[in-house]
RNA sequence: GGGCCAUUAGCUCAGCUGGUUAGAGCGCAGUCCUGAUAAGACUGAGGUCUCUGGUUCGAGUCCAGAAUGGCCCA
């Protein structure tokens, strides 16, 4: 090999032992200094926008690995779109309001309840909340930058800003005017500790399984002759049996529900009779109880029963639903006798309980609806803290503790038929863990149910990845939509802009600060308002438009999810400012969050857009067109990561060890975006080794040799000289097409895997098989060498571009060193470059398939060699190949040199019949034959043995059966075992046979030894730290055999090792030497650099 | 109770609209190769493709049902 001396170093030398984290730090510095992110936006035309919305995180805790997951997916699409020529602004944002923030501060201040917060002072409390939400902003920004999540954090939107709040007010006003806001008593999930309702999505966060609760069957007495019409008279007491798991709600009981068309039975027990559903009687009473009488549910409807408790007689206020379904307080002294009655309800279950359901409208959703329908009483002798009222069992205790007092009380009064414990799923407060109580109280609602059709129609226009979310989880959620409970009885949030008149009760909605000033009783005070939060806004009263009285703001703040859903408008302070920006940036082309956001941000964005469109306030009814919905990230055992389990992964440790690119690559390549994934640092490392290092080594190889040869890319279209070059360019263009198509479909995973496969081909086939082309001197064919360089160069440069969205750092490194170094006119960064276009004329599917064939044959050849234990360094005389068809012969002929070189063989011969190299042994397939032919197997065995195995084998291989001992055998009845023929070692697969000759002639043995010597010398060169192109003197001292080969193969050995002098004998003192065992004899090797 | 997703080697995952003998990576054992390689090649052990039916000439793939797990909702 003749390597020319380095002429000019074109490319910066590449360290094969690269530290990716250090490399990344350098590139971060470069991006920052050169403002690459800013330029990637500025350089793209303003009228070709691709809109991305950043879902705002709350920066009151450290970011975790799951945030890295969503950020790298969020980052990939904008980078790709930028390279496609779009301008993709990325405004960062912070979500700042809400209960989690308040709870954090409560904990810090040691506050335990709302009265304590109010005693501490709402202003001071909110100030603390405000400080806390930016506590980790720096940490978030630092991590985001480090993983190359490009976003504008210098101008983020912040949900606590007055402007943001004002836009939220504007939205409320639009909906208010459209009749989409209302206040209603509703049964809502209520956290007695936090003192507020929770929205459905919050409730969803806190379900716990296997929660033990009481299971009690309670007797509600009725008169003994109550069933006279049905023909039954009780001798003793008679009672309806109802079942509940919440005894604390029994003081609120105002009705019992039965299923009208179900069968009920009267069962006589010791001294009393009870009524319950026939279907459930065996379960409740045990055995096979026989009813003393039977009746249908409808016959029970209207029966008045004896109340267990009558809070109204204990001085507790009780209300009643009026004809309009509104609650009105009972008049003083108004009698409630006989108002507690049996009603009919469809949902009464005949699978659990007794078939009679206890109804307490104050505490249950369906109960509340029944209350409206039947104009029931409404008794709520438990306050918002969940404390039982005076005079009732468990008075002063928390509801769940009062359960036992209620049970005991009923037991003492003989009203408890049966008690036990069940385990079921029950909701707890997702932040503080307190059991939620369903509690009827007034809340503000957005009438989303009125727009169900629009919500669903809008969803049809959204592309979901993975697709099943669209009609699955998200679609079902929309189809089962209920009105959005949007108020929270809390402090740190967007104040609801509703004012209610103290005099007449009239409510008004204020849609802006200007409107507030306009209507304020004290305009100066309103104008001076520089913080729209509580408590300041609470101080502003307005004049009631209806009666001229004073209206005060309602005490609630908005659900923080409302803020996040307002982001498309509020980030611009629309419509007060930036109207044009809003219009240009709505709706988003792309958003990306994890699957939990189907009920969070995905929903609130969609709901608010739909509501605003219905109110006529915005141009389009969807807020986003494409959405990647990520699966959750679990620990390596598949368990959910959580602080309490202690199995969270700190992203920094992974990034500092393996780098951001490796982490990103893992996220994209390991599993599809929508699937839950198991994360471990080990998997990141695996991707690093398998992919990034392979790429890096190929890059390093190229730069080493290109510098030696002073290669400069010619520019323009590469004209490949060799078939393998044409193949690589074909695969490369196919890759470009594939990656582009996948990214258009928002599927980074298939794209990444395709790149990975290409890099493997590039390194382990193209470079391996082309290596010597890079070594050759100019005299041996400059055109071929140039073609190899151009081809490899083109592949690496294209890879840099394809990888830019995935692994932005290593892509930048390749770009800077391979492109910018030789072309100062090239874009300053790969992230400012144009996305590559696939050249369809380069894609040759047939060539790709043919290369697969050659690789397969080489693989078989290596297997054949291994079988014969002939190492690859030892040349063999001949490789013999049997192909499947004649067309393949031409392919092999064209690639003859590749196969010969790869398999280190002197000759290649194609044969038509593999029986030249293998013989088939024929055996009966006994496990198959046995069941089929039973005792005849013996005869078949003998008959088969008597036949010519070659003929039998030939028949079987053609898929034909044959008759043996008078029995027709099928091909599957006979087993063929190939045996190598004398002098050959063969391997077979799918109709191909590749064999090598096993006889090693003395000449071949000498060549093998020469190659062995070359390898030892090369090792020594490397150990000595010589440069690739250094010339050396070399010595080999061994036995006569070794020295003879050194002499006879001197030219070969010298050429390979760049030795200008090769001596058979001991190396001198100054040489680097090594003693090694060579074919059983001690041999001394020595090398010395020629200066 | 309902919805969605998943189930393929010890682990992580491919397997497209049904089509020869179900693959890869990691890990394990061994052999080999290497002046780009932290790599790579070959071999071995490791699979009733969760199960049961069905459609079909043919099912890991399509259909129905079941089981298990995950997420979500009640």
How far: A755 CA to B19 C1' (Å)?
28
Asked if residue A786 has pLDDT above 70, the reply is yes
**Stretch A861-882: mean pLDDT, rounded?**
80
How far: A1057 CA to B34 C1' (Å)?
14
Q: Looking at strand B, which nucleotides approach a protein CB closer than 7 A? A: 1, 3-6, 11-14, 20-21, 25-26, 30-43, 69-74
Strand B close to A874 by CB, under 7 A: yes
Strand B close to A903 by CB, under 7 A: no
| Percent above pLDDT 70 for chain A | 90
Strand B close to A1011 by CB, under 7 A: yes
Q: For position A613, what pLDDT does the model report? A: 95
Q: What is the CA radius of gyration of chain A?
A: 41
- Which pair of structure tokens corresponds to residue A695? 């790429």
Q: For position A811, what pLDDT does the model report? A: 95
Distance CA A953, CA A77 (A): 58
- Which pair of structure tokens corresponds to residue A559? 């659900």
Active site residue A597: yes
pLDDT band at A75 (very low <50, low <70, confident <90, very high): very high
Is residue A969 a contact partner of residue A926, using CB atoms and an 8 Å limit? no
C-alpha dist (Å) from residue A103 to A63, A97, A165, A433, A988: 19, 11, 21, 12, 69
Q: For position A699, what pLDDT does the model report? A: 93
The DSSP output letter for A55 is P
**Stretch A637-654: mean pLDDT, rounded?**
74
Catalytic pick among A154, A209, A290, A643: A643
Over the range A172-206, which residues count as b (16 or more CB within 10 Å of their CB) and which as e?
Answer: bbbbbebebbebbbbbbbbbbbbbbbbbbbbbbbb
- Which pair of structure tokens corresponds to residue A833? 């470059």
How far: A188 CA to B68 C1' (Å)?
35
How far: A973 CA to B56 C1' (Å)?
24
Active site residue A601: yes
Distance CA A352, CA A606 (A): 38
Q: For position A2, what pLDDT does the model report? A: 37
Distance CA A99, CA A298 (A): 47
Q: For position A779, what pLDDT does the model report? A: 47
Is residue A1053 a contact partner of residue A1042, using CB atoms and an 8 Å limit? no
Asked if residue A494 has pLDDT above 90, the reply is yes
How far: A596 CA to B70 C1' (Å)?
14
pLDDT band at A337 (very low <50, low <70, confident <90, very high): confident
Strand B close to A476 by CB, under 7 A: yes
Is residue A930 a contact partner of residue A940, using CB atoms and an 8 Å limit? no
pLDDT band at A193 (very low <50, low <70, confident <90, very high): confident
Distance CA A566, CA A757 (A): 43
The DSSP output letter for A671 is S
Distance CA A454, CA A465 (A): 21
Distance CA A36, CA A28 (A): 10
| Percent above pLDDT 90 for chain A | 34
pLDDT: is A992 or A446 the higher one? A446
Active site residue A640: yes
**A535 preceded by a cis bond (ω within 30 of 0):** yes
The DSSP bridge pattern shows strands A507-509 and A1059-1064 to be unpaired
DSSP of A831-860 = GGSPPP---GGG--HHHHHHHHHHHHHHHH
| A660-679 pLDDT tens trace | 999 999 899 888 888 877 78
Is residue A811 a contact partner of residue A818, using CB atoms and an 8 Å limit? no
Distance CA A409, CA A113 (A): 30
Distance CA A552, CA A496 (A): 11
Q: For position A52, what pLDDT does the model report? A: 96
Burial of A1018: CB neighbours in 10 Å, binned 0-12, 13-18, 19+: middle
Q: For position A1, what pLDDT does the model report? A: 34
How many C-beta atoms surround the C-beta of residue A116 within 10 A?
13
Q: For position A572, what pLDDT does the model report? A: 96
Strand B close to A704 by CB, under 7 A: yes
Instruction: Give the global pTM.
Output: 0.83
**Stretch A808-833: mean pLDDT, rounded?**
94
Cβ neighbours of residue A566 closer than 8 Å, sequence gap 6 or more: A164, A167, A168, A171, A608
Within A649-700, strands assigned E span: 677-678
Strand B close to A678 by CB, under 7 A: yes
How far: A1081 CA to B15 C1' (Å)?
51
Strand B close to A277 by CB, under 7 A: no
Residues 136-165 of chain A sitting with CB below 7 angstroms of strand B: none
> Degrees (nearest 5) of the Cα angle A672, A675, A681?
80
pLDDT: is A351 or A616 the higher one? A616
Handedness of CA A849, A855, A859, A862 (dihedral sign): positive
C-alpha dist (Å) from residue A601 to A361, A462, A517, A680: 32, 15, 32, 28
The DSSP output letter for A495 is B
Strand B close to A714 by CB, under 7 A: no
C-alpha dist (Å) from residue A804 to A65, A746, A808: 22, 16, 4
Q: Is A347 left (phi over 0), alpha (psi -120 to 50) or beta?
A: alpha
Strand B close to A425 by CB, under 7 A: yes
pLDDT band at A201 (very low <50, low <70, confident <90, very high): low
Is residue A547 a contact partner of residue A579, using CB atoms and an 8 Å limit? no
- Which pair of structure tokens corresponds to residue A1088? 């010395």
Q: For position A1069, what pLDDT does the model report? A: 81
Distance CA A250, CA A307 (A): 10
Range scoring the smallest mean pLDDT among A87-101, A368-382, A414-428: A414-428
C-alpha dist (Å) from residue A968 to A234, A952, A977: 85, 13, 21
- Crossing angle for the helix pair A694-709 and A768-775, to the nearest 10 degrees: 20
Range scoring the smallest mean pLDDT among A60-69, A814-823, A894-903: A894-903
Task: Give alpha helix (H) positions in A178-243.
Answer: 200-204
**A554 preceded by a cis bond (ω within 30 of 0):** no
Catalytic pick among A174, A380, A597, A1088: A597
| A978-1033 pLDDT tens trace | 677 777 777 777 677 888 887 778 888 788 888 888 888 888 887 777 777 778 88
Is residue A564 a contact partner of residue A56, using CB atoms and an 8 Å limit? yes
| A521-550 pLDDT tens trace | 999 999 999 999 999 999 999 999 889 899
The DSSP bridge pattern shows strands A484-485 and A437-446 to be antiparallel
Active site residue A95: yes
pLDDT band at A7 (very low <50, low <70, confident <90, very high): very low
- Count H helices, E strands: chain A? 40, 41
**Stretch A447-476: mean pLDDT, rounded?**
90
Within A166-310, strands assigned E span: 181-191, 196-197, 207-222, 238-244, 255-258, 263-269, 272-277, 293-296
Coil vs helix vs strand at A1078: strand
| A794-805 pLDDT tens trace | 999 999 999 999
Asked if residue A4 has pLDDT above 50, the reply is no
Mean pLDDT value across chain A: 85
Strand B close to A1027 by CB, under 7 A: yes
Asked if residue A433 has pLDDT above 80, the reply is no
Handedness of CA A860, A862, A863, A864 (dihedral sign): positive
Q: For position A644, what pLDDT does the model report? A: 61
Strand order in the sheet with A876-882: A905-911, A876-882, A992-997, A984-989
| A276-324 pLDDT tens trace | 988 888 888 888 888 888 888 888 888 899 999 999 888 888 888 888 7
Coil vs helix vs strand at A964: strand
Burial of A893: CB neighbours in 10 Å, binned 0-12, 13-18, 19+: exposed
Asked if residue A590 has pLDDT above 90, the reply is yes
Distance CA A120, CA A130 (A): 16
How far: A670 CA to B27 C1' (Å)?
17
pLDDT band at A767 (very low <50, low <70, confident <90, very high): confident
Q: Name residue A463's beta-bridge partners.
A: A626
For the ranges A29-43, A257-271, A696-710, the maximum mean pLDDT occurs at A29-43
Strand B close to A991 by CB, under 7 A: yes
Q: For position A468, what pLDDT does the model report? A: 86
Q: 3-state SS of chain A: helix, strand, coil percent to 5?
A: 45, 20, 35
Distance CA A822, CA A924 (A): 69
**Stretch A439-451: mean pLDDT, rounded?**
88
- With CA of A672 and C1' of each nucleotide, the nearest comes out as B13
What phi and psi values does residue A737 have, to the nearest 5 degrees? -65, -45
Asked if residue A902 has pLDDT above 60, the reply is yes
**Stretch A331-343: mean pLDDT, rounded?**
84
**Stretch A129-143: mean pLDDT, rounded?**
91
Q: For position A990, what pLDDT does the model report? A: 67
The DSSP bridge pattern shows strands A876-882 and A905-911 to be parallel
Residues 203-222 of chain A sitting with CB below 7 angstroms of strand B: 203-205, 207
Strand B close to A469 by CB, under 7 A: yes
Cβ neighbours of residue A47 closer than 8 Å, sequence gap 6 or more: none
pLDDT: is A267 or A856 the higher one? A267
Distance CA A765, CA A123 (A): 69
Q: What is the dihedral of CA A182, A183, A188, A194, to 10 degrees?
A: 120
- Maximum CA pair distance of chain A? 125
């Amino acid at each position: 090999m003749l390597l020319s001396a380095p002429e000019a170093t074109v490319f910066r030398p590449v360290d094969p032992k690269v530290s990716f984290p250090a490399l990344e730090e350098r590139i971060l510095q470069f991006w920052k200094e050169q403002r690459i992110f800013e330029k990637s936006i500025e350089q793209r035309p303003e009228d070709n926008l691709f809109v991305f919305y950043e879902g705002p995180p709350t920066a009151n805790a450290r970011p975790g690995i799951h945030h890295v997951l969503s950020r790298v997916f969020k980052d990939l699409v904008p980078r790709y779109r930028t390279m496609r020529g779009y301008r993709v602004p990325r405004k960062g944002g912070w979500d700042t309001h809400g209960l989690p923030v308040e709870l954090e501060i409560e904990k810090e201040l040691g506050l335990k309840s709302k009265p304590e917060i109010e005693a501490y002072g709402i202003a001071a409390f909110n100030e603390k909340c405000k400080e806390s939400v930016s506590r980790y902003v720096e940490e978030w920004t630092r991590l985001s930058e480090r993983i190359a999540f490009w976003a504008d954090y210098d101008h983020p939107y912040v949900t606590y800003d007055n402007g943001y709040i004002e836009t939220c007010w504007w939205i409320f006003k639009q909906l208010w005017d459209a009749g989409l806001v209302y206040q209603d008593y509703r049964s809502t999930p209520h956290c007695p500790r936090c003192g507020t309702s929770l929205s459905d999505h919050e409730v969803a966060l806190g379900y716990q399984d296997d929660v033990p609760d009481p299971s009690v069957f309670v007797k509600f007495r009725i008169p003994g002759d109550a069933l006279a019409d049905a023909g039954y008279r009780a001798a003793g007491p008679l009672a309806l049996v109802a079942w509940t798991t919440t005894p604390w709600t029994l003081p609120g009981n105002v009705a019992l529900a039965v299923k009208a068309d179900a069968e009920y039975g009267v069962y006589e027990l010791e001294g009393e009779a009870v009524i319950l559903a026939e279907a459930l009687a065996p379960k409740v009473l045990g055995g096979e109880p026989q009813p003393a009488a039977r009746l249908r549910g409808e016959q029970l409807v209207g029966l008045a029963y004896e109340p267990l408790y009558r809070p109204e007689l204990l001085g507790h206020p009780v209300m009643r639903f009026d004809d309009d379904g509104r609650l009105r307080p009972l008049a003083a002294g108004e009698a409630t006798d006989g108002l507690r009655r049996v009603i009919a309800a469809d949902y009464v279950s005949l699978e659990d309980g007794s078939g009679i359901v206890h109804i307490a409208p104050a505490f249950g959703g369906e109960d509340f609806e029944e209350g409206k329908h039947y104009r029931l009483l409404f008794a709520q002798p438990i306050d918002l803290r969940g404390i039982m009222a005076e005079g009732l069992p468990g008075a002063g205790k928390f509801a769940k503790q009062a359960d036992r007092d209620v049970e005991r009380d009923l037991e003492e009064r003989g009203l408890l038929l049966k008690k036990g414990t069940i385990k079921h799923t029950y909701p707890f407060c997702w932040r503080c863990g307190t059991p939620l109580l369903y509690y009827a109280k007034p809340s503000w609602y957005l009438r989303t149910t009125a727009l169900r059709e629009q919500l669903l129609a809008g969803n049809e226009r959204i592309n979901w990845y993975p697709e099943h979310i669209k009609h699955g989880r998200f679609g079902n959620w929309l189809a089962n939509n209920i009105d959005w409970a949007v108020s929270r009885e809390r402090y740190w949030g967007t104040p609801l802009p509703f004012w209610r008149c103290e005099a007449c009760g009239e409510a008004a909605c204020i849609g802006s600060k200007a409107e507030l000033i306009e209507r304020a009783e004290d305009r100066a005070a309103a104008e001076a308002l520089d913080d729209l939060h509580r408590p300041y806004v609470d101080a502003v009263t307005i004049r009631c438009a209806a009666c001229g009285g004073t209206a005060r703001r309602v005490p609630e703040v908005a659900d923080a999810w409302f803020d996040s859903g307002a982001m498309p408008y509020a980030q611009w302070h629309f419509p007060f400012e930036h109207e044009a920006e809003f219009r240009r940036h709505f709706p988003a082309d792309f958003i990306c969050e994890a699957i939990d956001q189907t009920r969070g941000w995905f929903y609130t964005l969609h709901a608010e857009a739909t509501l605003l469109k219905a109110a006529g306030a915005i141009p389009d009814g969807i807020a986003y067109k494409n959405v990647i919905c990520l699966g959750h990230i679990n620990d390596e055992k598949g368990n959910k990561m959580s602080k309490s389990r202690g199995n969270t992964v700190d992203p920094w440790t992974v990034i500092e060890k393996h780098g951001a690119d490796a982490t990103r690559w893992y996220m994209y390549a390991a599993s599809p975006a929508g699937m839950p994934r198991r994360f471990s640092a080990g998997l990141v490392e695996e991707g690093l080794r398998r992919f990034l290092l392979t790429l890096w080594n190929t890059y390093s190889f190229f730069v080493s040799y290109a510098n030696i040869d002073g290669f400069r890319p010619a520019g323009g279209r590469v004209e490949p000289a060799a078939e393998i070059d044409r193949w690589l360019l074909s695969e490369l263009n196919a890759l470009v097409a594939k990656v582009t198509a996948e990214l258009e479909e928002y599927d980074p995973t298939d794209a990444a895997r395709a790149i990975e496969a290409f890099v493997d081909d590039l390194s382990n086939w193209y470079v391996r098989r082309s290596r010597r082309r890079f070594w050759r001197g100019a005299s041996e064919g400059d055109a071929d060498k140039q073609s190899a360089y151009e081809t490899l160069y083109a592949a690496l440069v294209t890879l840099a571009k394809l990888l830019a969205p995935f692994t932005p750092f290593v892509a930048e490194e390749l770009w800077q060193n391979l492109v910018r170094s030789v072309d100062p006119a090239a874009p300053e960064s790969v992230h400012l470059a144009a996305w590559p276009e696939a050249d369809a004329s380069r894609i040759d599917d047939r060539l790709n398939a043919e290369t697969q064939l050659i690789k397969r044959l080489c693989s078989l050849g290596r297997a054949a060699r291994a079988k014969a234990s002939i190492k690859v360094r030892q040349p063999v005389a001949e490789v013999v190949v049997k192909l499947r068809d004649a067309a393949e012969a031409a392919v092999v002929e064209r690639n003859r040199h590749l196969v010969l070189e790869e398999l280190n063989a002197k000759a290649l011969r194609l044969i038509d019949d593999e029986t030249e190299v293998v013989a088939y042994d024929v055996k009966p397939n006994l496990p198959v034959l046995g069941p089929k032919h039973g005792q005849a197997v013996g005869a078949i065995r003998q008959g088969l043995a008597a036949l010519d195995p070659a003929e039998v084998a030939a028949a079987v291989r053609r898929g034909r059966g044959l008759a043996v001992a008078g029995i027709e055998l099928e091909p599957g009845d006979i087993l063929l075992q190939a045996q190598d023929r004398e002098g050959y070692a063969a391997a077979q697969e799918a109709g191909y046979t590749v064999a090598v000759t096993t006889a090693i002639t003395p000449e071949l043995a000498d060549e093998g030894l020469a190659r062995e010597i070359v390898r030892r010398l090369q090792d020594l060169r490397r150990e000595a730290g010589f440069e690739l192109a250094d010339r050396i003197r070399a010595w080999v001292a061994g036995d006569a055999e070794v020295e003879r080969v050194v002499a006879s193969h001197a030219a070969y050995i010298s050429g390979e090792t760049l030795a200008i002098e090769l001596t058979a004998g001991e190396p001198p003192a100054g040489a680097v030497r090594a003693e090694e065992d060579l074919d059983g004899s001690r041999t001394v090797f020595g090398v010395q650099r020629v200066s």
